[in-house]
Copies of this chain bind each other. A is one copy, B any other.
Amino acid sequence: MNIGQASTATGVSAKMIRYYESIGLIEPAGRTQSNYRVYGADDIHELRFIKRARTLGFSVEETAQLLALWRDKTRASADVKRVALAHVAELQTKIIELEGMVQTLKHLADCCGGNERPNCPILEDLAGATTHAKGHH
A interface residue numbers (CB < 8 A to B): 45, 48-49, 52-53, 56-57, 66, 69-70, 72-78, 80-82, 84-85, 87-88, 91-92, 94-95, 98-99, 101-102, 104-106, 108-109, 112-120, 122-123, 125-129
A109 B126 Cβ-Cβ under 8 A: no
A73 B120 Cβ-Cβ under 8 A: no
Number of copies: 2
Nearest Cβ on chain B to A28's Cβ, whole angstroms:
22
A123 B88 Cβ-Cβ under 8 A: no
Q: Other CB < 8 Å A-B pairs besides A56-B105, A81-B122, 12 of them?
A: A48-B128, A52-B126, A56-B104, A75-B120, A77-B112, A77-B119, A78-B115, A80-B112, A81-B120, A82-B114, A95-B95, A98-B98
